[in-house]
C-alpha cells in the first residue's frame, strides 16, 4: 500500500513541479497558433462518431483531410450544403491551412455558384442567379474568416481581391485587397501589377499612376518583373491622364514626317 | 525502505544494457512486431501512389494539397503503429517473464529489480526507436518520390516560361513545393512523436508492474493514451474542480507532443526551444513514471 501511495505521489509531482513549464508551453502554443478549435457537439454531428474519436486521439490532420475528401464527394453529388458544412468543420479543425480556405472559397464562388446558376431544372434563371450571389457572399465570408486566422499570409488577401474582381465586379474593393496582398515580400510580382490595374479601373487614375511608377522605379536587374507589361500600362495611363511630356516616364515620341516623294 | 536503499547499491549500467539488448532482440523476433512493422512500412510506402486527392484550382495548389495528404497520412500511420508497437511491445514484457518463470532466474542472479525494470524499459524504448526510424525513412522516401515528380514538373514550367515575370512566379511556386517536400521541421515532429511513444512505453510498463494480464495492460495503456490527449481540453473545462485537477495531474498531457499537424501546415516555423520545453516536460514525466514503476515492482510479491 505504501509503495502505491508513493507511486501516486510520484506521478502527481511532475504535474505540479512542471506547472511553470506547462504554462510556458501553453503560452508558446497560443503564440504559434498551434492546434485548432476544440471539438464541439455541432462538429461531432457533422463528422460522425468515428472521426470524432480519431480527433480525440490526436489525429486532427487525418480527420481534416478525410472530411476534405468527403466534401468533394458531396460536391459531385450536388450536396452543396453538406459540402459547405464540412468545409466549415475542416477549417475549424485546421484554421492555419491556407489551402483549405483558398480552395474552399474557390469551390463556393466558382463551382457551386455556377452550378446553382445553371440548375434550371429546379429554378428559373433569375432564381439561379440570386442563389449564385448567395454563394459568392458565402465565399467572401469564408475568406474573411480565413484572413482573420492567417493575417500574415498574402494568399487570402489576393484571393479575396480576385473574388471581388471576378465575381462581385468591384474593382475598388479588389484594388484594396490586392494592395494589402502586394505589401507582403513573398507576394508574386503580378499581384502589385493587378493592384495598379484595378486602381485605374476604379477610376483612381492618379493613385494608379503612382502605383505603376513605384513598380517601374524598382531595380530592373534584381526584381523579376514583366517589365514590358509595366511599360505598356504606364504609357497607356500617361496618355489617358494626358500627362505633360516633361513629367512622363515615357515621353510621347514625335512622329517623324512622312518622307516626300 | 532499507531493502529499497540496497537496490541502489552496486548498480550496474552494463547489466541494464545487457537486459535492454536482450529485450530488444526478443521483441524484434516476435511475430506480432514483424506483422505490425511490415504493415506500417507497406502503408507508408503506398502513400506515394496517392494520385487523386488534389482538388486545387492550380497545379501548385494541387501539388501542395497532395503533399499535405501524404504527410498527414504517413505521420498518422507512424503515430498509430508507433503507439501499437510501444504498447504491445511493452505490455507483454513482465507478464511473459512471469509466465515463463525466467524472471526468477534473472532476479536470483545479482540483478536488482530496478536494473531489470530499467533494462526492460530501455529495450522497449530501443524497439520504438528502431521502428520509428524505419517508418521515418520510408516516409521520407515516399515524400521525396512524390515531391520530386512535382518539382520536375515545376522546373519544366519554369523552362518554358514566356517572360521574366511569369518565370519568377513559377520559380516561387517551385520553391514552395520544395519547401513542402524538404521541410526540416518534420524532424522536430518526429522527435516529439518519439518522446510521446517513449513516455507511453513507460506508462505501459508501470501498469504491467501491478497487473499480471497482458490484455489488461494493453487496454489500460490505450485508455491512458486517449485520456492523455484529452488532458489539455479537460484542464480548461474543469479548471475550477480540485478533484478533477488532482485526477488530471496523474496523466501527462500527450496533446502537447503532437506537432505533426502544425508542422505540415507550415504557417510558422517551429522553434527548437519549443521542442526542448516539450521534451523536458516529457522527460520529467518519464523519470517520475519509471520511479513509480520501480516502487511498485520493488515490493511486488513474486
Answer whether A19 touches B (CB < 8 Å): no
Distance from C-alpha of B108 to C-alpha of B102, rounded to nearest angstrom: 10
**Owner of C-alpha cell 484572413:** A147
Task: Name, in order, each residue with C-beta under 8 angstroms of B249's C-beta and a sequence gap of 6 or more.
Answer: A11, A12, A15, A16
Tell me whether residue A176 is in a domain. Answer: yes
Answer whether B293 touches A (CB < 8 Å): yes
Here the cell at position A238 is 500617361
Per the structure, the complete domain to which residue A172 belongs is given by: 168-247
Say how many CA atoms lie within 13 Å of B44 toward its Cβ: 30
Distance from C-alpha of A161 to C-alpha of A174, rounded to nearest angstrom: 4
Compare CB distances from B296 to A3, A58, A96 and report the shortest one's residue: A3
The residue ranking higher by pLDDT, A251 or B123, is B123
State the pTM of this model.
Answer: 0.83
B257 pLDDT tier (thresholds 50, 70, 90): very high
pLDDT of B8 reads 59
pLDDT at residue B73 tops 60: yes
Question: Which chain B residues have a beta carbon less than 8 Å from that of A99?
Answer: 56, 61, 64-65, 68
- Mean pLDDT for B162-167 is 69
Q: Give yes or no for a contact between B141 and B44, defined as CB atoms under 8 angstroms apart.
A: no
Distance from CA of A37 to the nearest CA of B (A): 10
Tell me whether residue A65 is in a domain. Answer: no
pLDDT at residue B196 tops 60: yes
pLDDT of B130 reads 96
* Chain B residue with the nearest C-alpha to that of A111: B57
* Chain A residue with the nearest C-alpha to that of B225: A57
Q: Do B169 and A38 touch (CB under 8 A)?
A: no
pLDDT of B234 reads 83
Here the cell at position B36 is 505490425
The residue ranking higher by pLDDT, B207 or B269, is B207
Q: What is the DSSP string of B188-202?
A: HHHHHHHHHHHHHHH
Answer whether B35 touches A (CB < 8 Å): no
- A7 conformational bin, left if phi > 0, alpha if psi -120 to 50, beta if neither: alpha
Answer whether A190 touches B (CB < 8 Å): yes
Say how many CA atoms lie within 13 Å of B242 toward its Cβ: 0
* Chain B residue with the nearest C-alpha to that of A153: B267
pLDDT of A260 reads 56
Answer whether A134 touches B (CB < 8 Å): no
Distance from C-alpha of B153 to C-alpha of B282, rounded to nearest angstrom: 43
pLDDT of B173 reads 82
Domains of chain B, residue spans: 11-298
Q: Do A35 and B261 touch (CB under 8 A)?
A: yes
pLDDT of A57 reads 76
Q: Give yes or no for a contact between B55 and A72, defined as CB atoms under 8 angstroms apart.
A: yes
Q: Give yes or no for a contact between A61 and B72, defined as CB atoms under 8 angstroms apart.
A: yes
The number of helix segments (H) and strand segments (E) in chain B equals 13, 0
**Owner of C-alpha cell 537496490:** B7
Question: Which chain B residues have a beta carbon less than 8 Å from that of A16?
Answer: 249
Q: Do B280 and A21 touch (CB under 8 A)?
A: yes
Question: Which chain B residues have a beta carbon less than 8 Å from that of A13?
Answer: 288
Find the Cα–Cα–Cα–Cα dihedral B48, B52, B53, B57, rounded to 10°: 120
Question: Which chain B residues have a beta carbon less than 8 Å from that of A193?
Answer: 165
* Chain A residue with the nearest C-alpha to that of B300: A3
B13 pLDDT tier (thresholds 50, 70, 90): confident
Here the cell at position A122 is 429546379
Tell which B residues from 248 to 277 touch A, by Cβ distance under 8 Å.
248-250, 252-256, 258-262, 264-265, 267-268, 270, 274, 277
Closest C-alpha among A57, A108, A55, A119 to residue A83: A108
Closest C-alpha among B102, B108, B289 to residue B201: B289
Closest C-alpha among A41, A30, A37 to residue A64: A37
The number of helix segments (H) and strand segments (E) in chain A equals 14, 0
Q: Do B261 and A16 touch (CB under 8 A)?
A: no
pLDDT > 90: percent of chain B: 47
pLDDT of A144 reads 96
Question: Which chain B residues have a beta carbon less than 8 Å from that of A64?
Answer: 72
Q: How far is CA A189 from the centre of its chain?
A: 17
Compare CB distances from A224 to B168, B250, B296 and report the shortest one's residue: B168
Distance from C-alpha of A218 to C-alpha of A229, rounded to nearest angstrom: 14
Q: How far is CA A101 from the centre of its chain?
A: 6
Q: Give yes or no for a contact between A145 and A156, defined as CB atoms under 8 angstroms apart.
A: no
Question: Which chain B residues have a beta carbon less than 8 Å from that of A65?
Answer: 53, 68-69, 72-73
The residue ranking higher by pLDDT, B250 or A40, is B250
pLDDT of B2 reads 55
Tell me whether residue A177 is in a domain. Answer: yes
pLDDT of A181 reads 96
What's the domain count of chain A?
1
Find the Cα–Cα–Cα–Cα dihedral A81, A86, A90, A95, rounded to 10°: 30
Answer whether A222 touches B (CB < 8 Å): no
Q: Give yes or no for a contact between B191 and B272, defined as CB atoms under 8 angstroms apart.
A: no
* Chain B residue with the nearest C-alpha to that of A149: B267
Answer whether A106 touches B (CB < 8 Å): yes
Tell me whether residue A187 is in a domain. Answer: yes
Q: Per-residue b/e over B102-119, b at no fewer than 16 CB within 10 Å?
A: ebeebeeeebbbbbbbbb
**Long-range contacts, stretch A209-214, CB < 8 angstroms, 24+ apart:** A209/A234, A209/A237, A209/A238, A209/A241, A209/A243, A212/A237, A213/A249
Low-confidence residues in chain A, pLDDT < 50: none
> Does ipTM come in above 0.90?
no
DSSP 8-class letter at B100: T
Distance from C-alpha of A219 to C-alpha of A222, rounded to nearest angstrom: 6
pLDDT of B57 reads 61
Task: Name, in order, each residue with C-beta under 8 angstroms of B195's C-beta and a sequence gap of 6 or more.
Answer: B257, B278, B279, B282, B283
pLDDT at residue B216 tops 90: yes
pLDDT in tens, B78-104: 999 999 999 999 999 998 888 888 888
How far is the first Cα of chain A from the last one, in angstroms, to the nearest whole number?
Answer: 120
Here the cell at position B57 is 484550382
Q: Do B164 and A25 touch (CB under 8 A)?
A: no
Amino acid at each position: 500500500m505504501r509503495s502505491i501511495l508513493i507511486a501516486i505521489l510520484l506521478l502527481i509531482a511532475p504535474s505540479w513541479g512542471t506547472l511553470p513549464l506547462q504554462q510556458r508551453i501553453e503560452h508558446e502554443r497560443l503564440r504559434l497558433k498551434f492546434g485548432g478549435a476544440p471539438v464541439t457537439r455541432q462538429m461531432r454531428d457533422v463528422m460522425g462518431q468515428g472521426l470524432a474519436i480519431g480527433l480525440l486521439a490526436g489525429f486532427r490532420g487525418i480527420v481534416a483531410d478525410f472530411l476534405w475528401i468527403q466534401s468533394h464527394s458531396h460536391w459531385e453529388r450536388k450536396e452543396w450544403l453538406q459540402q459547405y458544412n464540412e468545409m466549415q468543420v475542416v477549417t475549424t479543425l485546421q484554421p492555419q491551412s491556407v489551402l483549405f480556405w483558398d480552395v474552399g472559397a474557390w469551390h463556393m464562388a466558382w463551382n457551386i455558384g455556377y452550378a446553382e446558376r445553371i440548375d434550371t431544372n429546379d429554378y428559373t434563371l433569375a432564381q439561379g442567379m440570386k442563389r449564385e450571389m448567395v454563394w459568392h457572399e458565402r465565399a467572401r465570408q469564408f475568406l474573411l474568416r480565413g484572413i482573420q486566422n492567417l493575417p500574415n499570409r498574402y494568399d487570402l488577401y489576393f484571393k479575396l481581391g480576385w473574388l471581388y474582381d471576378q465575381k462581385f465586379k468591384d474593382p475598388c474593393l479588389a484594388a484594396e485587397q490586392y494592395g494589402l496582398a502586394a505589401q507582403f515580400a513573398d507576394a508574386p510580382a503580378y499581384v502589385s501589377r493587378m493592384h495598379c490595374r484595378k486602381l485605374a479601373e476604379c477610376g483612381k487614375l492618379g493613385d494608379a499612376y503612382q502605383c505603376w511608377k513605384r513598380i517601374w522605379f524598382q531595380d530592373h536587374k534584381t526584381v523579376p518583373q514583366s517589365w514590358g507589361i509595366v511599360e505598356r500600362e504606364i504609357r497607356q495611363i500617361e496618355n489617358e491622364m494626358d500627362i505633360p511630356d516633361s513629367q512622363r516616364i515615357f515621353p510621347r515620341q514625335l512622329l517623324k514626317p512622312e518622307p516626300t516623294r | 525502505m532499507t531493502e529499497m536503499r540496497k537496490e541502489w547499491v552496486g548498480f550496474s549500467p552494463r547489466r541494464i544494457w545487457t537486459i535492454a539488448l536482450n529485450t530488444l532482440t526478443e521483441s524484434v523476433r516476435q511475430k506480432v512486431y514483424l506483422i505490425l512493422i511490415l504493415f506500417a512500412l507497406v502503408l507508408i510506402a503506398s502513400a506515394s501512389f496517392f494520385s487523386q486527392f488534389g482538388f486545387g484550382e492550380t497545379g501548385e495548389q494541387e501539388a501542395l494539397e497532395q503533399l499535405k495528404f501524404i504527410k498527414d497520412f504517413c505521420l498518422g500511420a507512424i503515430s498509430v503503429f508507433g503507439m501499437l508497437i510501444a504498447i504491445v511491445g511493452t505490455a507483454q514484457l513482465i507478464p511473459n517473464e512471469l509466465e515463463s518463470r525466467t524472471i526468477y532466474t534473472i532476479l536470483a542472479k545479482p540483478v536488482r529489480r530496478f536494473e531489470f525494470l530499467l533494462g526492460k524499459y530501455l529495450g522497449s524504448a530501443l524497439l520504438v526507436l528502431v521502428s520509428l526510424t524505419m517508418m521515418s525513412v520510408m516516409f521520407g522516401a515516399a515524400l521525396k518520390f512524390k515531391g520530386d515528380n512535382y518539382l520536375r514538373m515545376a522546373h519544366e514550367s519554369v523552362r518554358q516560361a514566356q517572360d521574366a515575370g511569369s518565370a519568377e512566379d513559377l520559380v516561387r511556386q517551385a520553391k514552395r513545393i520544395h519547401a513542402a517536400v524538404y521541410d526540416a521541421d518534420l524532424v522536430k515532429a518526429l522527435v516529439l512523436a518519439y518522446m510521446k511513444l517513449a513516455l507511453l512505453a513507460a506508462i505501459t510498463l508501470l501498469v504491467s508492474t501491478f497487473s499480471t494480464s497482458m490484455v489488461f495492460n494493453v487496454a489500460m495503456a490505450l485508455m491512458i493514451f486517449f485520456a492523455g490527449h484529452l488532458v489539455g481540453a479537460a484542464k480548461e473545462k474543469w479548471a475550477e474542480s480540485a478533484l478533477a485537477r488532482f485526477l488530471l495531474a496523474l496523466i501527462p498531457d500527450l496533446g502537447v507532443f503532437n506537432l505533426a499537424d502544425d508542422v505540415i501546415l507550415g504557417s510558422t516555423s517551429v522553434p527548437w526551444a519549443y521542442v526542448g520545453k516539450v521534451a523536458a516536460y516529457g522527460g520529467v514525466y518519464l523519470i517520475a513514471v519509471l520511479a513509480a514503476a520501480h516502487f511498485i515492482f520493488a515490493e511486488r510479491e513474486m
